[in-house]
């Protein structure tokens, strides 16, 4: 991976990691489904009126938008609302790396190097270490929702490869158009009119700042950067980089929410960083390229 792309990957994962505690700040006043719907409304509008639609089938845009907005981020926000700590949520979503590596092998004919296999083992140990040290705030349903969102992210990665899209930012903007209506409908079905009636009162300065970060940082910039990497490299090279997200997620929780890191959590982060060093930085590129449509 080129140095500039590696720097981009680190910046994207840092912003995504901080997005978890920042999202928790926004959830203090808004329903999680409504907050997600507002996020993708602002990600799509008014930008679709100024940015040309990417040259891919509308089905790819719709599929990615629904998976991206409803099956991934709505479930993440619900899990955090149910009590899953932001750092743990950032961790659980990283199971997408393992799902994505599996899709890369099954669908694109990619091969894993020995370094990547060893990196996966170290990363799995790190993930288990943090889960065992979890304070138990999250409900079983919350943890389950986060794992489903991780699977959804991996499917979104596959869509990026299969669609062959080149206009990455336009793809993010236009796909976001398909998420708000299902999210607003689910909000109404689950909570009635109350979240909409109380919306104005919930939009205080902290909530607006949280929403702006989610839209322009975590959605526009991060998904542009991440999908650009998926366009340029095999998914087996890109997906494990997301294992940096829980490290930044824990750091963000410390700085923004006053979270205290214990010895078990510190050990887990060391294992995850070791997994990156072994499996990515020093790993060899798989000998064959994926059979993706370019």
pLDDT digits (tens, 9 = 90+) for 237-287: 787 787 788 889 888 888 888 777 777 777 877 887 777 677 654 444 444
CB-CB contact of 294 with 55 (8 Å): no
- Label residue 201 exposed, middle or buried (CB < 10 Å: 0-12, 13-18, 19+): exposed
**pTM summary value:** 0.80
Q: Determine if the peptide bond prior to 176 is cis (ω within 30°).
A: no
The string of pLDDT tens digits covering residues 54-84 is 999 999 999 999 998 999 999 999 998 888 8
Whether 228 and 102 have beta carbons less than 8 Å apart is answered as no
Question: Following DSSP, what letter does each residue of 51-117 receive, concatenated?
Answer: SPPPSS-HHHHHHHHHIIIIIIIIHHHHHHHTT--HHHHHHHTTHHHHHHHHHHHHHH-----HHHH
Structure confidence by residue, pLDDT tens digits, 18-27: 999 999 999 9
């Amino acid at each position: 991976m080129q140095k500039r792309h590696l720097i981009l990957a680190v910046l994207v994962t840092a912003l995504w990691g901080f997005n978890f505690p920042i999202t928790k700040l926004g959830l203090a006043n808004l329903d999680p489904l409504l907050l997600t719907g507002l996020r993708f409304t602002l990600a799509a509008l008014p930008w679709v009126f100024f940015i040309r639609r990417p040259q891919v089938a509308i089905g790819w845009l719709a599929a990615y938008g629904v998976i991206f907005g409803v099956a991934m981020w709505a479930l993440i926000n619900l899990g955090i609302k149910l009590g899953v700590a932001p750092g743990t949520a950032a961790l659980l979503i990283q199971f997408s790396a393992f799902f994505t590596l599996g899709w890369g092998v099954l669908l694109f004919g990619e091969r894993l190097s020995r370094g990547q296999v060893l990196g996966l083992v170290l990363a799995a140990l790190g993930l288990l270490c943090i889960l065992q040290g979890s304070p138990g705030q999250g409900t079983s349903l919350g943890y389950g929702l986060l794992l489903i969102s991780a699977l959804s992210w991996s499917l979104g990665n596959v869509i990026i490869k299969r669609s062959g899209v080149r206009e990455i930012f336009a793809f993010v903007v236009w796909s976001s158009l398909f998420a708000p209506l299902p999210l607003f409908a689910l909000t109404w079905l689950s909570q009635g009119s109350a979240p909409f009636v109380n919306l104005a009162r919930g939009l205080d300065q902290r909530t607006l700042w949280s929403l702006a970060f989610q839209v322009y940082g975590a959605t526009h910039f991060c998904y542009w950067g991440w999908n650009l990497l998926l366009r340029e490299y095999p998914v087996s090279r890109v997906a494990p980089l997301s294992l940096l997200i829980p490290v930044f997620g824990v750091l963000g929780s410390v700085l923004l929410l006053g979270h205290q890191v214990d010895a078990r959590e510190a050990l887990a982060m060391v294992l995850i960083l070791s997994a990156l060093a072994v499996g990515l930085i020093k790993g060899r590129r798989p000998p064959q390229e994926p059979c993706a449509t370019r």
